[in-house]
């Protein structure tokens, strides 16, 4: 594959967890992956690991909740590679595990800013690039919490419900542009983000999974990989469950 043929895939929050697994999967398929992540040290380590495996990988330090930062990262990525073919909006935080009435305004806003507004901003600035090139694939990482609403996680559940709604709306808006927009709704996936939630909340989520185990990042990455591909040609504005049987609709 020549550099001209190689797709450019942006993965937000690509330094760890689900994002890292997605970046590796896309890189293995021949994409040049560009990690947009706030954690500079972790992202640089991930890029180095990908390069040592023979993959094309780069990094932009980005706070996805900052419009100026997202706009700069978009401009920088396009200046370097002339395109963005794939956008995976994965960056997110879990927030605190407390009842809604005990949530601080600051904690609520942090989750909404990163988990929902971050998706909006990345789409806002990347979509015009994809439309100009006449092709694109966007995959948003939502959550089963956005469909069912997890107790002790009102900000997170609200943000992820918003990501589902954004996906459905944007998918319809881009239907004539060959830019397809879909989202996935994982249940518990075994990543570092679980360290942010209480043991009680984790136990609640796990006991609702019929397969009786957490999912693995590589399982999510496999689904996302197909949604980013040209083979995914008749799905847009859709929600794909990867919940171990938890999802009921």
CA gap 212, 229 in Å, rounded: 30
CA gap 51, 58 in Å, rounded: 9
Q: Extract the tokens encoding 192.
A: 């570092």
Of the candidates 66, 64, 73, 71, the residue with the CA atom closest to the CA atom of residue 92: 64
Q: Extract the tokens encoding 8.
A: 């450019």
* For residues 12-26, average pLDDT: 97
As a residue count, the chain comes to 249
The residue to which tokens 């996805």 are assigned? 64
Catalytic residue among 38, 59, 125, 156: 156
Burial class (CB in 10 A: 0-12, 13-18, 19+), 98: middle
CA gap 163, 159 in Å, rounded: 6
State residue 161's pLDDT score: 98
3 pLDDT more than 70: no
Q: Positive or negative CA dihedral for 67, 20, 215, 236?
A: positive
1 pLDDT more than 50: no
Beta bridge partners of 189: 215
Instruction: Please give the biggest Cα pair distance in the chain.
Output: 55
What is the helix (H) or strand (E) element at residue 241, kind and residue range?
strand 238-242
Of the candidates 107, 138, 112, 33, the residue with the CA atom closest to the CA atom of residue 77: 33
What is the helix (H) or strand (E) element at residue 15, kind and residue range?
none
Band of residue 208 on the pLDDT scale cut at 50, 70, 90:
confident
pTM of structure: 0.94
Strands 8-12 and 32-37: parallel
Please name the CATH architecture into which domain 8-236 falls.
3-Layer(aba) Sandwich (3.40)
Percent of the chain with pLDDT over 90: 86
Taking residue 199's Cβ as centre, other Cβ atoms within 10 Å add up to: 9
Is there a catalytic annotation at residue 38?
A: no
* For residues 214-225, average pLDDT: 96
Taking residue 167's Cβ as centre, other Cβ atoms within 10 Å add up to: 25
């Amino acid at each position: 594959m020549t550099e001209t043929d190689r797709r450019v895939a942006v993965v937000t929050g690509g330094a760890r967890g689900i994002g890292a697994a997605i970046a590796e999967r896309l890189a293995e398929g021949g994409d040049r992956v560009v990690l947009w992540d706030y954690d500079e040290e972790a992202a640089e380590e991930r890029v180095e690991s990908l390069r040592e495996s023979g993959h094309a990988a780069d990094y932009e330090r980005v706070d996805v909740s900052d419009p100026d930062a997202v706009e700069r990262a978009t401009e920088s990525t396009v200046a370097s590679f002339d395109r963005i073919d794939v956008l995976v909006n994965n960056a997110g935080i879990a927030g605190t595990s407390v009842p809604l009435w005990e949530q601080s305004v600051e904690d609520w806003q942090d989750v909404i800013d990163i988990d929902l507004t971050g998706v909006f901003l990345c789409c806002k600035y990347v979509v015009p690039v994809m439309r100009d090139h006449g092709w694109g694939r966007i995959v948003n990482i939502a959550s089963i919490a956005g469909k069912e609403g997890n107790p002790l996680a009102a900000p997170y559940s609200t943000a992820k419900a918003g990501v589902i709604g954004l996906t459905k709306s944007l998918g319809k808006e881009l239907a004539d542009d060959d830019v397809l927009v879909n989202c996935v709704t994982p249940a518990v996936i075994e990543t570092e983000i679980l360290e942010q939630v209480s043991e009680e909340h984790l136990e609640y989520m796990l006991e609702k999974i019929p397969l009786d185990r957490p999912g693995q990042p590589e399982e999510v990455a496999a689904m996302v990989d197909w949604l980013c591909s040209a083979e995914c040609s008749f799905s847009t504005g859709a929600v794909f469950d990867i919940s171990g049987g938890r999802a009921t609709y």
